[in-house]
Amino acid sequence: MRHRIAVIGGGPAGLTFARVMHRHGHPVTVLERDPAPDARPPGGTLDLHENLGQLALGKAGLLAEFQALSRPEGQAMRILDVDGTVLRDWQSRPDDQANPEIDRGQLRDLLLGPLDVQWGRDVTEVVPGTRDGALVRFADGRQETFDLVIGADGAWSRVRPAISSATPHYTGVTLVETSLDDVDTRHPDLARLIGDGSMAVYGVNRALVAQRNSGGHVKVYAQFRAPLDWHTNLDRHMGLNRHAGLDAGLDLADGEAVRSSLLALFDGWAAPALDLLRHGTAFVHRPLYVLPVSHTWAHVPGVTLLGDAAHLMPPLGAGANLAMLEGAELAEAVAAAPGPGDLDEAVRAFEERMWARAGGWAKITTAGLERLVSPDPTEALALFDEVQPS
Ligand SMILES: Cc1cc2nc3c(=O)[nH]c(=O)nc-3n(C[C@H](O)[C@H](O)[C@H](O)COP(=O)(O)OP(=O)(O)OC[C@H]3O[C@@H](n4cnc5c(N)ncnc54)[C@H](O)[C@@H]3O)c2cc1C
């Protein structure tokens, strides 16, 4: 390889970059903080859009393998009223390849393939412009210099401070994630209701969304507007204490206490919706943070950002797609850049293109979150009516 390149982070952005580089005959090493690929649960399902994530997989030569793994039927969407009435029921055609779903773990394994990933490499800091290039410092005390450092290290990027002072801020919406296993055998009524794709219920400032993954696994997201410290005083912040009979503070590590407080928060909703919470196995607290819409920076030679590190936005089906396409496009640009000056020009041009596209999606997803978790639940329905094919 002509250029010394560090890819920091082995998520969709970093792995797609590395995979496209590999295809162009320029293998690069991915430096990932997790100690092993299976160190954390991989997360839920992702829908990959034809003109974003799938385009990236095409550039990596992986589209056919993706199509063999993905679930077009996962595009089905059912919306219920809080009383259980089915308000909308969109089925998907088996040949519809617009946004098929794939489990995050399956996508990661597909991208990993032949790649060289160094696990357990925790980056703490990047210093651009040293005599020998951009310096990367690791938590174990090691340091190395590179011609180009690519920060694909997600929302809380340690690379980002080298080129931007932006930090994520809380959206006012929190998710609490739980899961159901073997749903078809253990909870057949719920399985039928969720169908092959997703099922959602929208109420006043809160929502419940269930998404089928492969192998009978279902991820459930309870979403609500709340202050960041909602769990420290349920009475004051959520008006829950009288209902739930809970102490003022909720220990987020206590799954049964979280379940009780969520059941109180969604009190009065139809039984099948509440069953998603009653049968959930573990509860993970995910307050939603975002970077400023249209986040850009003054170009710094030797360092750039991809994916959530560059443009963290509400999780409305765009983040991983953008991360992958950016990874693929940057790889193509870098692979076609023979000398150091060409490399910097290629990165600069790539950033302009990334900012324009991601800025548009950040606006769409920010407005979308406002409507999906809204004081007026008809807004959520109206949003789906606008975006779902009739
Ligand atoms: C509930 C939920 C549902 C979502 N659904 C969708 C969807 O359907 N479609 C979609 O397109 N997007 C979706 N998203 C968004 C999507 O998950 C992200 O946009 C996407 O994962 C971003 O990819 P990335 O590679 O930029 O960052 P990440 O996936 O965050 O990967 C970053 C990687 O960097 C590593 N890392 C972090 N810090 C360091 C460090 N200091 N040193 C070394 N390595 C480090 C991390 O361990 C990680 O492996 C969803 C998000 C959430 C929360």
Per-residue pLDDT band at 267 (split at 50, 70, 90): very high
Q: Tell me how far the alpha carbon of residue 13 lies from the centroid of ligand 1, in angstroms.
A: 8
Provide the pLDDT for residue 41: 85
CB within 8 Å of 112: residues ≥ 6 apart: 10, 15, 37
Q: Does the pLDDT value for residue 242 go beyond 70?
A: no
pLDDT surpasses 90 at 157: yes
- Calculate how far, in angstroms, residue 185's C-alpha sits from the geometric centre of ligand 1: 31
| CA–CA dist 355, 352 (Å, integer) | 5
**Quick check: CB of 154 below 6 Å from ligand 1?**
yes
Can you tell me the mean pLDDT for 138-164? 98
Of residues 304 and 38, more confidence is placed in: 304
Give the nearest ligand 1 atom to 312 CA: 19
Average pLDDT of 342-359? Answer: 97
| pLDDT mean across residues, the chain | 94
User: How far, in Å, is the centroid of ligand 1 from the Cα of 154?
Assistant: 5
Rounded distance from Cα 320 to ligand 1 centre (Å):
7
- Confirm or reject: Cβ of 123 under 6 Å from ligand 1: yes
CA of 10 to the centre of ligand 1 (A): 9
Pocket of ligand 1 contains residue 34 by CB under 6 Å: yes
- Give me the pLDDT at residue 388, please: 82
Position 225 pLDDT exceeds 70: yes
Residue 165: pLDDT band (50, 70, 90) is very high
Q: Can you give the pTM of this predicted structure?
A: 0.95
Question: Average pLDDT, stretch 381-388?
Answer: 92
What number is the average pLDDT over the span 277-281?
A: 96
Q: Verify whether ligand 1 is closer than 6 Å to residue 315 (CB atom).
A: yes
12 lines ligand 1 (CB under 6 A): yes
Are the CB atoms for 11 and 323 separated by under 8 Å? yes
pLDDT one-digit tens code per residue, 100-123: 889 999 999 999 999 999 999 999
Residue 200 has pLDDT above 70, yes or no: yes
- pLDDT over threshold 70, residue 273: yes
The reply to whether ligand 1 has any atom less than 6 angstroms from the CB of 152 is yes
**Ligand 1 atom 19, closest CA:** 319
Which residues make Cβ contacts (< 8 Å) with residue 341, sequence separation at least 6? Answer: none
Q: Is 82 in the pocket of ligand 1 (CB under 6 A)?
A: no
- How far is ligand 1, taken at its centre, from the CA of residue 210, in Å? 20
Closest ligand 1 atom to 14 CA: 25
In short, whether 122's Cβ falls inside 6 Å of ligand 1 is: yes
Q: What is the pLDDT of residues 69-79, one digit of tens each?
A: 999 888 899 99
CA of residue 361 relative to chain centroid, distance: 14
Confidence grade of residue 344 (pLDDT, cut at 50, 70, 90)? very high
Ligand 1 binding pocket mutation candidate from 33, 138, 171 (most atoms within 8 A of CB): 33
Q: Is the pLDDT of residue 372 over 60?
A: yes
Amino acid at site 117: V
| Three-class secondary structure of residue 24 per DSSP | coil
Please tell me the predicted confidence (pLDDT) of residue 246: 54
DSSP for 297-310?
----TTEEE-THHH
Mean pLDDT of 318-330: 98
For 24-29, what is the mean pLDDT? 93
pLDDT exceeds 60 at position 137? yes
Give the ligand 1 atom nearest the CA of 124: 41
- Mean pLDDT for 294-307 is 97
Lowest mean pLDDT among 4-8, 89-93, 130-134, 320-324: 89-93
Q: How confident is the model at residue 148 (pLDDT cuts 50, 70, 90)?
A: very high
Q: Residue 377: CB partners within 8 Å, gap ≥ 6?
A: 82, 202, 203, 204
- Encoded tokens for 234: 């349920």
Mean pLDDT of 11-35: 97
Pocket test for ligand 1, best of 137, 308, 311, 316 (most atoms within 8 A of CB): 308
Residue 178 CB less than 6 A away from ligand 1: no
Q: Whose CA is nearest to atom 7 of ligand 1?
A: 317
| 246 or 386, higher pLDDT | 386
Can you give the pLDDT at residue 244?
A: 52
How far is the C-alpha of 281 from the C-alpha of 285, rounded, in Å? 13
Which pLDDT score, from 0 to 100, does residue 248 have? 63
For position 72, what pLDDT does the model report? 86
304 C-alpha to center of ligand 1: Å?
A: 17
100 lines ligand 1 (CB under 6 A): no
Please, is 137 exposed, middle or buried when counting C-beta atoms within 10 Å of its C-beta (0-12, 13-18, 19+)? middle
